[in-house]
Structure 1
Amino acid sequence: MDDEKTRALRAKLKYDDGTLTAMLQGDYFLEDDHSGGFHYLRPSPGHAQFGTSIGGVLPTNPRDYAGPGPDTRVEAYGIAGTLEYDLGDVTLTSISAYKHLDSHSYASPDGTTLGERLQPADFIDRSNSYTQEVRLGGKLGILDMVVGGYYFHEKNFAGIRGGVNVIYFGFPDFLGEGAVFRGTQKTDAYALFTQNTINVTDKFGIDVGARYSYEKRSATTLNRFNLGSPYVRFPLFPQSPADITIAGADSWSSFDPKVGIHYQASPDLFLYASYSTGFKSGGFNVSGLQPPFDPEDIKDFEAGIKADLFDRRLRLNLAGFYYKYSNLQVNIVVNNPDDPQNNQISTQNAARAKLYGLEANVTARPIDDLQINVDAAYLHTKFTDYKTADFTALYLGAPLPDGTLADANGEYDLSGNPLTYAPKWKLHGALAYTFHSGALSVTPRIDATYTSAVEQSVLKLPFSRQSGYTLVDLFLDFNLADQGLSASIFMRNATKKFYTLSSTVGASFFGFPVTGLVGAPRTFGLSITKTF
């Protein structure tokens, strides 16, 4: 449990003759460990685990895992080539890249020692992508400009196989193949973009940019439910006569402008403000036989100040922002009137939301060898329009824990609820002091980060909420600048704080267990860097 075994390699080759610069970069990553998987956190109120009722055992510590797994294997590699040609006032740049990903994970969904016997689950993800960008950038009189084009192609396969033991249905013990959801999605995306600054004076500038995007996706989904064949790990997902197949395609386009102003009031004071729009691509629920969902749109207003004060002993950055989302892609329940406890969850454009916040960053050096960092972020979020049935099948029209009532269609109006995984406050502080001994510098550092309570369910379920917590990290840095050698000894999460990164309510036939991903435990490490 909680091990981490990763290897990564990156290499670059660079050629530069003063006019032409060429760079070739390759990277490889492999993970093969037990760091993933959903941990059993707690029971939902008023329900017991099905696995324990037939002899299964739950972990006594939520950091432990009682069932099989989790097993995680991720392999990724890629290559990228960059060409830059100096044309005088402007530079022509071309970036070509390829990326491959192959991921497989396996886990017990109920957290008991009988998970492998009841309903184990495999998750597969494979993708190949290609990108090409060409841009022209430089300075033409009072204009700083960039203009370019971008192309992206990806073929992605995703599959889930969850075994089902027929003892659920009163038959003798046999682990059948169960539900198989898989699909392939192809994406072709094109974009033209430009970003320009008009330097009206040496201090005042107008920023103008735009991006036109066109994206086309097609998907083929194959689903089946089969209890006659035995469940086998590491599935190849072969086709079967029992498959239900659906294919579809859709395309979207968007024009997104950006306009802003900035003012260099003095060498130590910079002010800016901007307005821009953007869109997040639409797509398909490849694990469900459902129509595609559309892109979501955002309007973004930002303003800020960057200042160096007291002879640059104090650096202050302040920013405020306001986001307005429409066609927000959210999970909603697609009602199944024949079996309300097995409704499908679907990504659809079913919500609108507003966010606003403030961020501040302060870096102080009262004396040369002492550095103090303070960061603070305040975030207010709420859905302005969002209706859905009960994701969990726990309530099915009954009032939610916060008192929200369902309408005649069994849907809950979640307007006014905060967005998930959006803490209202995040505070960070760091203190470092450097000691010198000849060519060697030694710097002890302490970092502390406070994150306020986080809703992990749009239904505001109190047993799916992470309360506020603080993480403390300790570092001891060594630096031999003359030799280009540095090292750092670190201890992250020094207080061994247990916290969840996500949580969800499991299926009804498991007894609605609350499971989730947990944060890393106390971690020790050594980092060594040599520059040449």
Structure 2
Amino acid sequence: MTSRIFGYVSGSLTDDVQAGLSIAYAKQFDGWGENLADGKDVHRADNDLNVRSKFFFEPTSSTTIKLLFDYAHRDGTNGLNFRPYPGTKPLLPGYRQGGSKWDIDNAQAGDLRFDGGGAALTIEQDVGFAQLVSTTSYRRYSSFTNFAASMVPQPAQIIDISRSGNQETEELQLLSKASSKLKWVFGVFGIRSSETVDPLSVKLFGPLAPAPDSLALIDISAKTVAKSIAVFGQSSYEVLPRLNFTAGLRYTYEHRSFTGGETGMLNNGFDLGALPIPAVPPTVSFNNVSWRLALDYQLTPSTLLYASNNRGFKSGGYNGLDPTNPPYLPERLDAYEAGMKTELFDRQLRLNVAGFYYNYQNIQVSRFLQTATIYNGGQAHLYGVDIDVDAKLGAFTIEGGLEYLHNKFTRFPDAQFSVPQPNGGSLITSGDAAGNHLPFASTFSGNLSLTYTTALAGGDLALNVNGSHNSGYWLEPDNILKQPDYDLLGASIRWAPSNARYTLRLWATNLLNKAVIGFIASSALGSETDYSNQPRTFGGTLTIKFR
């Protein structure tokens, strides 16, 4: 059972100042599964608190100030709860199969604690010919997680991770007036972030540390500091009646610094001090030019055609959890898209269709060594089509979507291959993944929602059923292990009186009780999987409005 409480209040503090406060708290009394090793619940959020507040102030008719605060706290056993991939065995003996895929049999459940929050200040100033917007923000967090990678009830390898970090950003934008025929924006964005790992502890027991002089503890400490600045501009102009052309350009410079090391201790308590590790460059710098070119044409009042070309990038950096790994390079994406957006039959039918082609260079891929790390995976091509529909047919509302996605690595000569062994564990090697599918990329997915609304007992009753289908996806670049195709089904009943003071909703999710793999970490210990989606769940929600 899970209880959730949400409250929101807003109003005027003075004639010029408005404020709002929202608080959401959830407590999960029963986990989705059980750890057979100790009989305790796993996949359970013991406490989940989110607080947000905002203030809106207008000191003059041309100046507005917005101030936002937020804070979040989470703890429970909803971290990484590993069990073997179906049909595979752990390297170490002793694993017992649970009654459901949310059960584990592990020496350590996936504990997780998180505290974080921040503030953002936005000032908007009318400067006559344009609008000047300044956004300043600060964020800070700390987290602790521990889990066992061995997937067996006897302690063998337990990992504890303590992390903390902070981030400061500043963005200045100068925007054209809403009435201007030429729409434009120019700006500059800066960010500084720092993350500290202190420590990440790898604890080895039993068969992984059998002798008094066996390595029993590795402590990893690391600090990564990133600084980045970007200047950008974009403008849109109606070059012909109903035909708009948009062009944007962005230059980004990034500098990252890294310090880190490992210390070790033997089973007999002897302190090895600093362990020798490969040299990693202490700093790296990246720069990038990205752009956007787009055309849109209002074919009719209800039909818009568009086409675009975008170049973007994802930052490179360090694997802060593993100082033995070199920094990874930025990922570059060239994206091409064309489609149409329509609202037909007096807005009773909305139909959007888009075709796309993506070309990735230095695509970033995750793998598991001591911990999860990122490395570059060469080149990949993706193309496909998206279709979204929203229709109103009398008392019925139909919403749905389809996506077909062709996805392949076209160059990946040194991909990590994890081959499950018949007697347990995995053989970790490397190979050429060119021609393989990308991890977690489905060839086909679709969703459909049907809602029937009618008047009942002085209010509105809405009956909904919704479902989705996924063709499945490969879990790693080697395309050895796969999440099979699956279907999800949900339903709800909602009733609200005509005065809308309160709403009652009864709902059910994942009625077919499908378990879906959301994370995998293959290592010599085996193919470690985590089923992180929610099982079959029933509930009710009561919403009350106070005025």
After TM superposition, list the pairs within 5 Å mapping 1:248-259 onto structure 2. 248-259=282-293
CA drift at 1:96? 0.8
The answer for the alignment partner of 1:2 in structure 2 is 43
The answer for the alignment partner of 1:234 in structure 2 is none
The answer for the alignment partner of 1:206 in structure 2 is 245
The answer for the alignment partner of 1:300 in structure 2 is 335
Q: Is the 2:90–2:150 contact (alpha carbons within 8 Å) kept by the matching residues of 1?
A: no
CA drift at 1:442? 2.2
Note if 1:516 corresponds to 2:533.
no
CA distance in 1 between counterparts of 2:546 and 2:389 reads 29
The structure whose residues are more often strand, as a share, is 2
Note if 1:75 corresponds to 2:115.
yes
CA distance in 1 between counterparts of 2:97 and 2:523 reads 15
The gaps in structure 1 that reach 5 residues or longer are 232-237, 334-341
Q: Is the 1:260–1:273 contact (alpha carbons within 8 Å) kept by the matching residues of 2?
A: yes
CA drift at 1:478? 3.4
CA drift at 1:457? 1.5
Q: Match of 2:208, SS?
A: helix
Specify whether residues 105 and 343 from structure 1 end up closer, same or farther in structure 2 by C-alpha distance, changes over 3 A only. Answer: closer
CA distance in 2 between counterparts of 1:202 and 1:389 reads 51
TM-superposition CA deviations, 1:416-436 (whole Å, max 9, x none): 101010001110000011222
Q: Is the 1:39–1:518 contact (alpha carbons within 8 Å) kept by the matching residues of 2?
A: no
Note if 1:355 corresponds to 2:371.
no
Specify whether residues 418 and 199 from structure 1 end up closer, same or farther in structure 2 by C-alpha distance, changes over 3 A only. Answer: same
CA distance in 2 between counterparts of 1:138 and 1:239 reads 63
Note if 1:314 corresponds to 2:359.
no
Q: Is the 1:128–1:156 contact (alpha carbons within 8 Å) kept by the matching residues of 2?
A: yes
Q: Is the 1:200–1:206 contact (alpha carbons within 8 Å) kept by the matching residues of 2?
A: yes
The structure 1 residue matched to 2:55, chosen from 1, 13, 23, is: 13
Superposition RMSD in Å: 3.0
Q: Is the 2:350–2:391 contact (alpha carbons within 8 Å) kept by the matching residues of 1?
A: yes
Q: Is the 2:520–2:527 contact (alpha carbons within 8 Å) kept by the matching residues of 1?
A: no
The answer for the alignment partner of 1:225 in structure 2 is 264
CA distance in 1 between counterparts of 2:546 and 2:437 reads 46
The structure 2 residue matched to 1:388, chosen from 406, 414, 431, is: 414
The answer for the alignment partner of 2:3 in structure 1 is none
CA distance in 2 between counterparts of 1:97 and 1:43 reads 45
Note if 1:475 corresponds to 2:492.
yes
Q: Match of 2:393, SS?
A: coil
The answer for the alignment partner of 2:76 in structure 1 is 33
Q: Match of 2:378, SS?
A: strand
TM-superposition CA deviations, 1:39-97 (whole Å, max 9, x none): 3134665x554142xxx655453311222222111111111111111234421111111
Specify whether residues 24 and 482 from structure 1 end up closer, same or farther in structure 2 by C-alpha distance, changes over 3 A only. Answer: farther
Higher mean alpha-carbon deviation, 239-248 vs 9-18, is at 239-248
The answer for the alignment partner of 1:503 in structure 2 is 520
TM-score (norm 2): 0.83
Q: Is the 1:125–1:156 contact (alpha carbons within 8 Å) kept by the matching residues of 2?
A: yes
CA distance in 2 between counterparts of 1:267 and 1:529 reads 40
**Corresponding pairs, count:** 494
CA distance in 1 between counterparts of 2:214 and 2:546 reads 55
The answer for the alignment partner of 1:192 in structure 2 is 231
Note if 1:147 corresponds to 2:186.
yes
Q: Give 1:318's aligned amino acid.
A: V
The answer for the alignment partner of 1:366 in structure 2 is 393
The answer for the alignment partner of 2:364 in structure 1 is 329
After TM superposition, list the pairs within 5 Å mapping 1:316-465 onto structure 2. 316-330=351-365, 347-367=374-394, 369-388=395-414, 390-392=416-418, 411-437=430-456, 440-461=459-480, 464-465=481-482
CA drift at 1:290? 3.4
CA drift at 1:505? 2.6
CA distance in 2 between counterparts of 1:364 and 1:279 reads 36
Q: Match of 2:65, SS?
A: strand
Q: Give 1:284's aligned amino acid.
A: Y
